[in-house]
Amino acid sequence: MNDTLSSPIAQAFWQACVLELEALKPGNVSVYSEGHGMQVSDFLRSAESCADIMAQPG
């Protein structure tokens, strides 16, 4: 759970992003394998940055 997000929808979006990173995906960035010049922390910051925007209507 991320307490900085403003709505349950934003929380759900962020949690979905976290779960995606926890899935085993050979060849893709995950908690099991960073690569391609990217790290899990990059994806977590992106999820947090856009969660409130994604939760807005329209």
What pLDDT score does 1 carry? 65
Residues 6+ apart with CB under 8 A from 24: 30, 32
Write the pLDDT tens digit of every residue in 5-52. 779 999 999 999 999 999 998 889 999 998 889 999 999 999 999 999
48 vs 58, higher pLDDT: 48
Q: How far apart are CA 51 and CA 28, in angstroms?
A: 22
**pTM score over 0.85:** no
Residue pair 23/45 in contact (Cβ under 8 Å)? The answer is no
